[in-house]
Amino acid sequence: MSSAAPLARSARTILVVEDEAPIAAAVAARLRSEGYTVEIAPDGPSGVERSAALHPDLVVLDLMLPGLDGLEVCERIQADRPVPVLMLTARDSERDLVLGLGVGADDYLTKPFSARELAARVHALLRRVERDRTEAAGAPGGVGQTRHIGDVELDPTTRRVTRDGALVHLTPTEFDLLAFLAASPGKVFTREELLGAVWGYDVASGGRTVDSHVRAIRRKLGNDMIRTVHGVGYALDGADAQAELAR
Kindly calculate the radius of gyration of the chain based on its CA atoms and give it in whole angstroms: 18
pLDDT number for residue 92: 62
Looking at the predicted structure, is the pLDDT value of residue 152 above 70? yes
Provide mean pLDDT across the span 103-128: 84
More confident residue, 197 or 39: 39
Using CA atoms, how far apart are residues 58 and 39, in angstroms rounded to an integer?
11
Looking at the predicted structure, is the pLDDT value of residue 164 above 70? yes
Provide mean pLDDT across the span 81-105: 75
Do 15 and 63 share a domain, yes or no?
A: yes
**Cβ proximity of 141 and 135 under 8 Å:** yes
Provide mean pLDDT across the span 140-163: 79
Percent of the chain, pLDDT > 70? 80
β pairing state of 226-229 and 233-236 = antiparallel
Do 98 and 173 share a domain, yes or no?
A: no
Do 97 and 165 share a domain, yes or no?
A: no
Residue 29 belongs to what H/E stretch? Answer: helix 21-33
**Cβ proximity of 79 and 101 under 8 Å:** no
Pick from 85-89, 136-140, 197-201: least confident? 136-140
CATH of the domain at 49: 3.40.50.2300
Using CA atoms, how far apart are residues 38 and 54, in angstroms rounded to an integer?
10
Do 84 and 200 share a domain, yes or no?
A: no
**Average per-residue pLDDT for the chain:** 82
pLDDT number for residue 102: 67
What domain range includes position 160?
147-243
Using CA atoms, how far apart are residues 168 and 208, in angstroms rounded to an integer?
23
Do 20 and 95 share a domain, yes or no?
A: yes
Provide mean pLDDT across the span 60-78: 92
Sign of CA dihedral 104, 49, 72, 34: positive
Provide mean pLDDT across the span 74-101: 78
Looking at the predicted structure, is the pLDDT value of residue 143 above 60? no
100 in a domain, yes or no? yes
pLDDT number for residue 1: 37
CATH of the domain at 235: 1.10.10.10
One-letter amino acid identity for 74? Answer: C
- Number of domains making up the chain: 2
* The model scores a pTM over 0.75: no
Measure the N-to-C terminal CA separation of the chain; round to a whole number of Å.
45
36 in a domain, yes or no? yes
